[in-house]
Amino acid sequence: MQFEYSSRVQDLRQRLLGFMDEHIYPNEKRQAEEAHQSYLNAVKSGGRYTGLPLMEELKPKARAAGLWNLFLPESEHGPGLTNLEYAPLCEIMGRRYWSAEAFNCSAPDTGNTEVIARYGNAEQKARWLQPLLDGEIRSAFAMTEPAVASSDATNISTRIERQGDEYVINGRKWYITGAMNERCKLFILMGKTDPDNPNRHSQQSMIIVPADTPGITVVRDMALVNHYDAPFGHPEVIFDNVRVPASNILLGEGRGFEIAQGRLGPGRIHHCMRMIGMAESALEMMCERVVSRVAFGKPLAEQGVWRERIARGRMLIDQTRWMVLHAAWRMDTVGNKVAAKEIAMIKVIAPNNCIQVIDDAMQAFGAMGLSQDTHLVNFWAYARHLRVADGPDEVHRNAVAKHELGSYLAAKRGL
């Protein structure tokens, strides 16, 4: 594969970097203040988090600059970038963990939009797709459950039962990113329509659930590393006899895993590239810190331990980037299913490598590195939670090992 960016991607990179310089970095303090106020308002009223006025100001500017819906590979809805082309752009957005929404490129909306665009019927697209593409609404992906080991998605216990022209949904979900936001208007929910099917991967289905459907209760927001992540939130949600039209089922009963595999591959690329952007920012902050601070009689930058950490940071970031780009290229050329090994590898490597870089930067800042006065704690929390989101490391290492053992045994039989 070729790592060189095309002229089109280079142009988008320059425009995106310019937008970050002009609109994102100068508004960091305002974003933090508005997010904190959104949290305080929700606590006071017992309601959901409100959207940020800043974000509604930035979205039209990003759209006018041609930096909108960059994640969508379908050219009818966006610029039609491949995963490989989108990856370096996603990395730039990741330099500030909150900025992707300004470009309508934030999770979980990216994955949900792709699901509806790729698998939705005409009715589903007519109701939900355009508002998501326009950034008018937010969405949530309801999969993880507190009562079962959700890393094995066949354990999902939420029931989706057909009753006449409706499906009735009963279950409890949690860490449902985005569902605390008042602009979250739909869930894409995974549950079981056929729990007795002998094929465990054909028991599950996905269905669109409007957020205002009776029977949905947002119980509480879940802290993320002891931090309440307004204005998105990651709440616990109860679905109690929630009734939706049968036409809301996605692709058909028993095809939940099929949809999940199509959804999670690109999403993992996006998360990993955003983490690389955060690690790059952390490394830059570490360099700036060590050249400006003196300890034990000389600048930190002249002390061997900090040179070692800076060198390690550069190597970890570049290793991660090349592997993510390779996984993106494989997805583009052979498809998500065939590229499953590469996707699994970056899911382990990216958060672990980036956590190390961020942690070293936190060390350079001392107590300040643990405070709200830098971005490092938010970077660390984002990277650390992704070691659990989409499945823990063990799940993905097992997938890689299974592939390697299969290849070895196939080769041995061939001999």
Separation of CA 320 from chain center: 17
Instruction: Summarize the confidence of residues 33-44 as an average pLDDT.
Output: 96
pLDDT reported for residue 150: 86
Q: How far is CA 315 from CA 38, 213, 276, 357, 371, in A?
A: 39, 49, 12, 10, 27
Give the chain's largest Cα–Cα span.
Answer: 78
The DSSP result for 308-324, as a single string, is HHHHHHHHHHHHHHHHH
Task: Say whether pLDDT at 263 is over 70.
Answer: no
Mean pLDDT of 146-157: 91
The pLDDT confidence band at residue 202, using thresholds 50, 70 and 90, is very high
Handedness of CA 71, 72, 78, 83 (dihedral sign): positive
Listed residue (153, 186, 189) closest to 171, CA to CA: 189
Q: Are 203 and 215 in contact (CB under 8 A)?
A: no
Name the residue among 184, 239, 190 with its Cα closest to residue 215: 239
At 178-198, the pLDDT tens digits run: 999 999 999 999 999 999 999
Q: What is the mean pLDDT of residues 12-22?
A: 98
Report the length, in residues, of the chain. Answer: 415
The pTM of this model reads 0.92
At 390 the pLDDT is 76
pLDDT tens digits, residue range 266-323?
777 889 999 999 999 999 999 999 999 998 889 899 999 999 999 999 999 999 999 9
Per residue in 50-74, pLDDT tens? 999 999 999 999 999 999 999 988 6
Contacts of 157 (CB under 8 A, 6+ apart): 145, 147, 148, 171, 191, 192
Q: What is the pLDDT of residues 338-393, one digit of tens each?
A: 898 999 999 999 999 999 999 999 999 999 999 999 999 999 999 999 888 878 89
Judge whether residue 265 has pLDDT over 70: no
Nearest in space to 138 (alpha carbons), one of 172, 92, 99, 106: 106
- Residue with more model confidence, 325 or 337: 325
What pLDDT digit, counting tens, does each position of 93-151 carry?
999 989 999 999 999 999 999 999 989 999 999 999 999 999 999 999 999 999 999 88
